[in-house]
Amino acid sequence: MSFKRIKFAIIGAGHTGTTIALMLAQRELGDIVLLDIPSQENPTKGKALDLLQAGPVQKYNSIIKGSSNYEDIKDADLVIITAGVARKPGMSREDLVSINTKIIKEVSENIAYYSPNSYVLVLSNPVDAMTYVCYKTTRFPKNRVIGQSGVLDTARFNTFVAQELNVSIEDISSFVLGGHGDTMVPLVRFSYAGGIPLERILSKEKIDKIVERTRNGGGEIVQLLGQGSAYYAPAAAIVEMAEAIVKDKKRILPSIAYLEGEYGYQDIYLGVPAVLGGNGIESIIELPLTPEEKEGLDVSAQAVKSLLRLLD
Ligand SMILES: NC(=O)C1=CN([C@@H]2O[C@H](COP(=O)(O)OP(=O)(O)OC[C@H]3O[C@@H](n4cnc5c(N)ncnc54)[C@H](O)[C@@H]3O)[C@@H](O)[C@H]2O)C=CC1
Ligand SMILES: O=C([O-])CC(=O)C(=O)O
């Protein structure tokens, strides 16, 4: 027997895709194929070569290749989907549903054909619905198709709490559940600063403001950028999930998972706490929610369900 290097494929070599490639390489998690559409072949090869040439300086050994040919993702272990269109100021993530559904279907068909045993992490928006499309198209088992939203939303919440308290981000822990949109549910009751419940050290008004800013976290950056959306924190979030899987870390991370009765929902992808390890989503943790929290999650699930109905 011999040990083998992990092969990542990133579909979509735009802002998030290339940043993810850099972060995967910086952690030396494996080799990377960056794939984009044929009209972007040369820029994709250029980005990959540039990333490869950062290796000798940063001392990473990852091999990074750019391509527009799906043959190159053959037998990838973990595929990350960032292909598609990002929103512009004034748009919601949901406005991207029809254009990105077409793209995710095509991408997922190719993943199923060329990397039938892979684990898939989805970033493209609206991400709850796009993860569902990927699951239905690849027909992979549910533990192998996972979406990213909660790690990012939680990171935003933690950033704002640390800023407000003027303490280290290292000591903040919290949890954001639900869909990746205005209806996401930051669980204040499960949020702590240095082990102290947040509600003990921040006023309700301040917490409410942080919750609101978190819900609008992506939109705030879209407005500031003027074109495109966030990519550094989203890339960091998905790399955290990828690392949990390829290193079988069994991290408890908020993940967009397929639900079959958990939290009372059926046939939906939604952000819930999950154990991420070598088998992808290894289990879903069902927290006992207060009626108010459950109501918030219901609203979020309904918003995702109405998007899924549009797909039909
Ligand atoms: N779930 C989350 O938390 C987040 C989701 N996103 C979403 O991720 C997606 C990508 O964002 P960015 O990288 O900033 O956009 P970008 O526009 O910089 O890159 C997207 C890339 O996808 C490529 N692409 C388009 N159609 C393709 C196809 N059929 N096959 C392969 N590649 C294709 C484009 O050529 C482009 O290079 C967007 O939908 C965005 O809304 C972004 C940040 C956070
Ligand atoms: O806001 C967007 O469109 C991109 C995204 O999902 C985020 O940054 O949370």
Q: Whole-prediction pTM value?
A: 0.98
Q: How far is the CA of 77 from the centre of ligand 2 (A)?
A: 26
- What confidence tens digit (pLDDT) does each residue in 205-256 have? 999 999 999 999 999 999 999 999 999 999 999 999 999 999 999 999 999 9
What confidence score (pLDDT) does residue 204 get?
Answer: 96
Q: How far is the CA of 181 from the centre of ligand 2 (A)?
A: 9
Q: What is the overall mean pLDDT for the chain? A: 97
What are the CA-CA distances from residue 234 to residues 145, 179, 240 (Å)? 18, 15, 10
Both ends of the chain: CA-CA distance in Å? 47
Atom of ligand 1 nearest to the CA of 17: 13
What confidence score (pLDDT) does residue 134 get?
Answer: 98
Q: In this predicted complex, what is the ipTM?
A: 0.99
* Pocket test residue of 10, 45, 85, 103 for ligand 1, highest count of atoms within 8 A of CB: 85
Of these residues, 76, 180, 272, 307, which one is catalytic? 180
Please give the DSSP secondary-structure letter assigned to residue 59: T
- Output the known binding site for NAD(+): 12-17, 36, 100, 123-125
Backbone angles phi, psi at 27, to 5 degrees: -95, 5
**Annotation marks residue 52 as catalytic:** no
Ligand 2 contact via 229 beta carbon (within 6 Å): yes
- Name which of 107, 147, 120, 135 is nearest 270 in CA terms: 147
What is the Cα–Cα distance from 184 to 177, expressed in whole angstroms?
A: 6
- Output the known binding site for substrate: 87, 93, 125, 156
Tell whether the model's pLDDT for residue 50 goes beyond 80.
Answer: yes
